[in-house]
A and B are shown apart, each in its own frame.
Chain A
Amino acid sequence: MSYRMASLPRPRTLAHPGPFGAVRIETLCAGSGRHYRLSLPPGRSLFDAIVEALAGVGVHSASMTLLDGDLSALSFCLARPDATGRVVATYSAPEAVGPARFIFGNATLGRSPDGAPVVHCHAVFSTPEGGVRGGHLLTERTIVGAAPVKAVATALDGIDLRITYDEETRMQLLKPRSEGRHA
């Protein structure tokens, strides 16, 4: 059988600065899902509200979908090519937006190397001018406004999501390891 080759764009394979990592898909199973619905209250940062609510039910690793709400302040970064060539892509300087409408987003709760909670969050929002934008949210500097932001969190029981230095990309990335295993 012969097919006409589709005129799809050729995907680019980018060379990263560090050595090629042997494992391409790191995966762990969390057993059956425990799910929580959160309402992130006005006046709190997304970070504090997520961390506090989930710590209260003993959850330290989770994957979340964040749903519609108001923000009184929002800070975010964009991923851009790194002009210095040290890494493939790097975050832009933070951009602060005043009030905004949070449309939706996804977030992961994990831990820093020393065990402090971290939240990695990408989201879409609309600005008072009517534009719809998105990016990597700085959750410590993003404050819930009058209408709570809702979240559905899936606990990743038994999985320790830890910020780890990745040699291939030369970046600090969240990686999964079994809970209780000490590096």
Chain B
Amino acid sequence: MPDIRMVESGRMGRVAYGRIAPNEDLVQSVEKLCLAQGFRNAFVRGALGSLVDACLARSDGTCQVVHGPAAEIVSLAGEVRSHDDGSLRAALTGVVVDVDGNVHGGPFVAGANPVCVTFEVTLEEWLPQPHPETFHNHCPST
């Protein structure tokens, strides 16, 4: 069995709220929101809104399109990470509801999820510690 390892330790920083306008791509807009706020890494703390159509990746390499308008996002989880080439990349997964109220879920494909009417998202900045090995937790000793 592979070892379970903590990849990173750190703390939460600032909180930012964003409102994304129609026809902007969900995934890239979350990345741009981080650029606007100067967040290099972030977690999604809450989100709701609608997409024109939702495009969700499947593990076999195909994608599922949930036709709107509007496909409503009822839950969104994810993170934004900065990369060595200076780019930011958001990985967002969530649950959407179609026009009949049926639910579908999966990772949102970047570039293929345009916002329909509006999208609200709250991000919390993640500040990794430069040297994870110096991390100490402060739980009371047992």
Q: Do A and B come from one complex?
A: yes
- Residue positions of A touching B, CB distance < 8 A: 8-9, 11-14, 16, 21, 23-33, 61, 63-65, 76, 78-81, 87-89, 95, 104-108, 120-124, 132-136, 154, 156, 159, 161, 166, 168-169, 171, 173-176
A33 closest partner in B (C-beta) = B15
**Binding site of B, secondary structure by majority: helix, strand, loop or mixed?**
strand
**Binding site of A, secondary structure by majority: helix, strand, loop or mixed?**
strand
Contact partners of B122 in chain A: CB under 8 A: 63, 154, 156
**B99 shortest CB reach to chain A, Å:** 5
Docked pose: A134 CA to B95 CA in angstroms: 9
Q: Give 26 CB contacts A-B under 8 Å.
A: A8-B63, A8-B109, A9-B65, A11-B25, A11-B112, A11-B114, A13-B114, A25-B24, A25-B32, A30-B16, A31-B14, A31-B15, A32-B13, A61-B17, A65-B46, A78-B100, A79-B117, A89-B69, A108-B46, A108-B48, A124-B74, A154-B15, A154-B124, A168-B22, A171-B118, A173-B118
Task: Tell me whether B48 and A120 are in contact (CB under 8 A).
Answer: yes
Task: Tell me whether A28 and B17 are in contact (CB under 8 A).
Answer: yes
Docked pose: A134 CA to B96 CA in angstroms: 8
With a 10 A CB-CB cut-off, give which of A16, A89, A175 has the most chain B CB atoms: A89
| Interface positions of B from 5 to 24, Cβ below 8 Å from A | 12-24
